[in-house]
């Protein structure tokens, strides 16, 4: 597993406002959107491209465009939905699939309650959107599912990660070079309720309210 912590003053600034408990939902949503676009820039460094010949107004030249098959973006419902626009802004031609997952609040294991993805993901590059890498169970389930369906590689974009979750994920996916985590920060630890400390609270509730 590869880990990329996006170290940039704008990312740190936006993340600090996001963490602040006095930041209300409308600002929170806007900041998540902006942060994801910045993280998406880092996360797509290895997006597959191919050469293409074009005509500028002046000459013929060779450039690049995204290769086929198109990448697929997979927000994990519910909180990952708040990251979708920020990602598709940079990758407007990507396809979007959905995984509905929630954690069982007693066992903290991931439960899949919705799945809208192509059956065959052969050769596809997948970008999973999940704001909080806490225990890692949700991401492990999502990544394993995508790789089993043939995904070529999986990059997960998270706002925050806990060291415990990163360790669990690393043990689960081992030395595979086809799994990358891109995050804005690695926090201190998980608390007894498996929330990230200092974290930002419940990302879904802060995006959408308590429902
Ligand atoms: N999910 C969240 O929304 N926040 C956490 O801190 C951990 C999991």
- Indicate whether residue 141 lines ligand 1 (CB < 6 A): no
Q: Closest ligand 1 atom, CA of 190?
A: 6
Is 205 marked active-site?
yes
ipTM above 0.90, yes or no: yes
Q: Which residues are annotated as a binding site for 5-phospho-alpha-D-ribose 1-diphosphate?
A: 78, 103, 130-138, 202
> Is-contact 167 198, C-beta < 8 A?
no
Question: For atom 5 of ligand 1, which residue has the closest CA?
Answer: 195
Model confidence, pTM: 0.94
d(CA 87, CA 76): 13
Tokens of 187: 């926090």
**Active-site residue among 29, 103, 152, 176?**
103
Q: Which residues are annotated as a binding site for uracil?
A: 196, 201-203
- Indicate whether residue 132 lines ligand 1 (CB < 6 A): yes
d(CA 11, CA 39): 8
- What are the domain boundaries of the chain? 2-208
Instruction: Give the pLDDT score at 210.
Output: 77
pLDDT tens per residue, range 107-144: 877 888 899 999 999 999 999 999 999 999 999 999 99
DSSP assignment string, the chain:
-EEEE---HHHHHHHHHHH-TT--HHHHHHHHHHHHHHHHHHHTTT--EEEEEEE-SS-EEEEEEEPSSPPEEEEEETGGGGGHHHHHTT-TT-EE-EEEEEE-TTT--EEEEEEE--S--TT-EEEEE-SEESSSHHHHHHHHHHHHTT-SEEEEEEEEE-HHHHHHHHHHHTT-TTEEEEEEEE-SEE-TTS-EESS-S-HHHHHH---
Per-residue pLDDT of the chain (211 residues; tens, 9 = 90+): 999 999 999 999 999 999 999 999 999 999 999 999 999 999 999 999 999 999 999 999 999 999 999 999 999 998 999 999 999 999 999 999 999 988 777 887 788 889 999 999 999 999 999 999 999 999 999 999 999 999 999 999 999 999 999 999 999 987 776 999 999 999 999 999 999 999 999 999 999 987 7
Residue with tokens 């608390």: 191
Burial category of 127 from C-beta neighbours within 10 Å (exposed 0-12, middle 13-18, buried 19 and up): buried
Say how many Å lie between the CA of residue 205 and the centre of ligand 1: 10
21 phi/psi in degrees, rounded to 5: -70, -15
- Indicate whether residue 202 lines ligand 1 (CB < 6 A): yes
Is 70 marked active-site?
no
d(CA 102, CA 54): 46
Give domain 2-208's CATH number out of 3.90.226.10, 3.40.50.2020, 3.40.50.150, 3.40.50.300: 3.40.50.2020
Q: Closest ligand 1 atom, CA of 79?
A: 3
Say how many Å lie between the CA of residue 185 and the centre of ligand 1: 14
């Amino acid at each position: 597993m590869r880990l990329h912590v996006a170290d940039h003053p704008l990312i740190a600034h936006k993340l600090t406002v996001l963490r602040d408990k006095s930041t209300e939902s409308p600002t929170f949503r806007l900041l998540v959107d902006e942060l994801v676009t910045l993280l998406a820039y880092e996360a797509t460094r290895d997006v597959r491209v191919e050469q293409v010949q074009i005509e500028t107004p002046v000459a013929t030249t060779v450039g690049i465009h995204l290769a086929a098959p198109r990448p697929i973006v997979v927000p994990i419902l519910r909180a990952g939905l708040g990251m979708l626009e920020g990602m598709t802004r940079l990758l407007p031609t990507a396809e979007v699939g959905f995984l509905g997952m929630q954690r069982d609040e007693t066992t903290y294991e991931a439960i899949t309650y919705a799945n809208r993805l192509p059956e065959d993901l052969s050769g596809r590059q997948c970008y999973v959107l999940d704001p909080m890498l806490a225990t890692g169970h949700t991401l492990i389930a999502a990544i394993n599912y995508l790789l089993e369906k043939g995904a070529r590689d999986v990059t997960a974009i998270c706002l925050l990660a806990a060291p415990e979750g990163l360790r669990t994920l690393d043990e689960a996916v081992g030395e595979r070079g086809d799994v990358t985590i891109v995050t804005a920060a690695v926090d201190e630890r998980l608390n007894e309720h498996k929330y990230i400390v200092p974290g930002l609270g419940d990302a879904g509730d802060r995006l959408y309210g308590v429902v």
